[in-house]
A and B are shown apart, each in its own frame.
Chain A
Amino acid sequence: MKELSTKARALLESARLGEPSLAAEKTKVLEAVQAKILAGAVPSTAALSGVTAAARATTSKVALMLFWVLGAATVAVALTVQSPVIAPEPVIEAVEAPPVVEPVEVVIPPAPTPTPTPAPAPVGRPTPRKNKPVVVVAPAPAAPVAPKVDLCALTVELRALKQAQQQLIRAPDKSLAGLEDFARGCSTGPLLEERQATRALALCGLGRKDEGHAELKSLEARFPQSPSVARVRQTCR
């Protein structure tokens, strides 16, 4: 078969070098996916055609809000979240019964700050349904379709990372402390690459450049392809 010309091949290679980092998108989408999984609303992909873009954007936002509110307010509860809060009208025909995470036990440690508050009703919506949005209990039923997902670890890791990133500029000491707190209980995790990069940036932000460079080296050794390596190196110069 005829190969691509040298010119076309060179274009592909140059473009590859220009690929942007997707770290922010990776975290953001994971948060939204986890929120939807927690809420039990798992739309089928084939259902896209029945959903308007606006409704879907609202779904994401409300589900995310629910996720954070629950995260902040709940102390070691097993919860089952039903879908009413995030069900925009046009989506209903498309949403399957939530078979996958029904009910998944999620243990969320106490959040650092506020006292529990009820989830606010979505703005611009008529009265919410009478269904209770959060039901505590329920032993796991037999035969779930999908494997159990360790939502707890991921949820906590996400929160730790997000908080550390938010504090990076104004309070790198707090950012670092938060990351180290998390790492004491869980040295690995799906967001380890992002955590290491944030830790290196926090160390450099505190003027502890030697430690920052050591963290960078470790990041580079573990994730040689990581787009964060260049970013951290530039910041820690």
Chain B
Amino acid sequence: MLTASVPIDAVRADEVPRFEDVYTQNFEIVWRTLRRMGVPPSHLDDAAQDVFLAVHRKLGQFEGRSTVRTWVVGIAIRVAKDQRRFATTKGKYEQLDPSLPDGAPGPDLAAATSQALGLLEELVIGLNETHREIFVLFELEELTAPEISQALGINLNTVYSRLRLARGAFERALEQRELRP
């Protein structure tokens, strides 16, 4: 959600964006991306801090070759991967519980949307990492393919090809989930 009064991606290429604006305008997408990339709820706080500390440290070097959002999302993806790698090598993470996504909707939200969110997170977490990052960025965060190409540092054709595979994997997972009693 973009909430700040200054549209940060409208800054000129030779201007350095303010950290506060970057934070305000990108916190939600960072948090959701970390969560959907499989960072467990108990580590989301620390992971988000790492993302924005890195943003703060590197902001002076931001060259405006991509949008700020793309740049920040790229950092979030890398932090999520680091976290998962660390988890895999150390075996420290608890088992992900996709039925209880962090910040799961409370009782005041409609049961249907709550169930949908739970199911979606379950299906997304079930995708492999390559498919998941493309699916999350394109289908859920609505980044464009060129933006994803910049954020992940991969070829545009690769983005499209991975997106096709990711959609297929997601559809299959959805079908299988529906067959389950």
Which residues of A line the B interface, CB within 8 A?
A: 1-5, 7-8, 11-12, 14-20, 22, 25-26, 28-30, 32-33, 36-37, 42-46, 48-49, 52-53, 56-57, 60, 99-100, 144-147, 149-150, 153-154, 188-193, 222-223, 225-227, 234
Contact = CB atoms under 8 A, between A and B. Distances in A.
A32 B51 contact: no
Contact of A146 (B27, B32, B59): B59
A25 B31 contact: yes
Contact of B167 (A4, A14, A37, A56): A4
Interface of B: 1-5, 16, 18-21, 23-24, 27-28, 31-32, 42-46, 48-54, 56-61, 75, 78-79, 82-83, 85-86, 89, 92, 103-106, 108-110, 112-114, 116-117, 119-121, 139-140, 160, 163-164, 167-168, 170-171, 174
A1 B160 contact: yes
B1 A4 contact: no
B91 to A, nearest CB: 12
Contacts of A225: 1-3
B75 A7 contact: no
Contacts of B44: 25
B3 A226 contact: yes
Nearest to B17: A147
Contacts of B114: 18
B86 A49 contact: yes
25 contacts: A5-B171, A8-B167, A8-B170, A11-B174, A19-B32, A19-B105, A20-B103, A25-B27, A25-B44, A25-B45, A25-B103, A29-B45, A29-B52, A36-B49, A42-B57, A45-B50, A45-B78, A49-B86, A60-B45, A146-B19, A146-B57, A150-B20, A191-B24, A222-B5, A234-B108
Contacts of B18: 147, 149-150
- Interface core residue of A12, A14, A225 (most chain B CB under 10 Å): A14
B16 A147 contact: yes
B82 A226 contact: no
B96 to A, nearest CB: 15
Contacts of A192: 5
A146 B27 CA distance: 20
Given A15-B119, A99-B57, A225-B1, 12 more contacts: A8-B171, A20-B106, A22-B28, A30-B27, A33-B23, A33-B52, A42-B53, A46-B82, A48-B50, A60-B45, A149-B56, A150-B20
Contacts of A4: 139, 167, 170-171
A146 to B, nearest CB: 4
Contacts of A49: 82, 85-86, 89
Contact of A32 (B2, B49, B57, B60): B49
Nearest to A98: B57
Given A48-B86, A53-B92, A147 B113 contact: no
A29 B104 contact: no
Nearest to B160: A1
Nearest to B58: A146
Contact of B49 (A17, A19, A29, A234): A29
A108 B128 CA distance: 48
3 pairs of A and B residues whose beta carbons are closest in the complex: A18-B113, A14-B116, A18-B117
A100 B18 CA distance: 14
A211 to B, nearest CB: 22
B33 to A, nearest CB: 12
Contacts of B2: 225
Contacts of A150: 18, 20
A154 B20 contact: yes
